[in-house]
Amino acid sequence: MSHPDLHLARDAGIATLTIDRPAKRNALTLPMWQAMPGMLEALSADTALRCVILRGAGEEAFSAGADITGFATERGTEPRERAYNEALIAAFLSIERCAHPVVAALSGHALGGGCGLALMCDFRVGGPGSRLGIPARNLGLFYPHEGLDALLRIAGEAVAMEMLVEGRTYTGEEALARRLLTRLVPDDAVQAEARALAARVAEGAPLANRFHKRALRALRGPLPITAADRAELEHFPRSADFREAVAAFGEKRRPVFRGE
């Protein structure tokens, strides 16, 4: 499965997957989330590859996350939310489980689900102009456990609370200090450094690289998530706050939350 807004290119053992909706700040629609796992699985099966780069088209955004303009038809009911969450989680895990190391080239904003995609990557290269945040609280959204796990593992609980509860969005320098970025370079060098990093990875023994990525993941173990925990993700579409947030986004105003 592929999608016209997800472009794949291969060169010298390196595959580059580009989220290509620059006019929408590379926001992802439900069909794009659904297409990503199949594309990553195909890359995993390609033993000629050595590394994967994930990037957004243009310089404004890696990805602004989910395309909120599609929520009216893609989300808002429990069945739709279940399908959406399954697609989102599958996309996240397809990057984490990719057999090859994955490098995120973070030019511009990486927000919400876009930040989640970046956190699933093995390396994250950004610049001072990069912006990382998860503004789920602004829409009354519940962020999936897999994304929370990556954030907690990389940056710790204090940073997770700042991002999710306080609503902090970090600059590139702040993100580096909190380990959200693994490399900080000038903004105009982000794409070149991501490519150079991928080339260095590709010089190594591929079997060793794949083993170490797989072994480090195995040592973390499975998430302690119950069926009830998973089902809770589907509850927020019932809330008046969620409906208010989506309406406010379309009307370009601040939402008024009532905890209902």
User: Is 137 a residue whose pLDDT tops 80?
Assistant: yes
| Mean pLDDT of the 208-214 span | 97
Asked whether residue 228 carries a pLDDT value surpassing 80, the answer given is yes
DSSP string across the chain:
--BTTEEEEEETTEEEEEE--GGGTTPBPHHHHHHHHHHHHHHHH-TT--EEEEEESSSSEEE--B-GGGHHHHSSSHHHHHHHHHHHHHHHHHHHT-SS-EEEEE-SEEETHHHHHHHHSSEEEE-TT-EEE--GGGTTPPPPHHHHHHHHHHH-HHHHHIIIII--EEEHHHHHHTTS-SEE--GGGHHHHHHHHHHHHHHS-HHHHHHHHHHHHHHH------HHHHHHTTSGGG-HHHHHHHHHHHHTS-------
Q: What is the pLDDT of residues 139-191, one digit of tens each?
A: 888 899 999 999 999 999 999 999 999 999 999 999 999 999 999 999 999 99
Give the start-to-end residue ranges of the domains of the chain.
6-186
Q: Which of 115-119, 168-172, 180-184, 221-225 has the lowest mean pLDDT?
A: 221-225
pLDDT at site 235: 76
Instruction: Supply the pLDDT for residue 250.
Output: 82
* Domain 6-186 sits in CATH 3.90.226.10: yes
Q: Once rounded to an integer, what is the mean pLDDT over residues 49-61?
A: 97
Residue 82 has pLDDT above 90, yes or no: no
Instruction: Assign 221 a pLDDT band (cuts: 50, 70, 90).
Output: confident
Tell me the percentage of the chain whose pLDDT exceeds 90. Answer: 76
At residue 241, does pLDDT exceed 80? yes
pLDDT of res. 194: 98
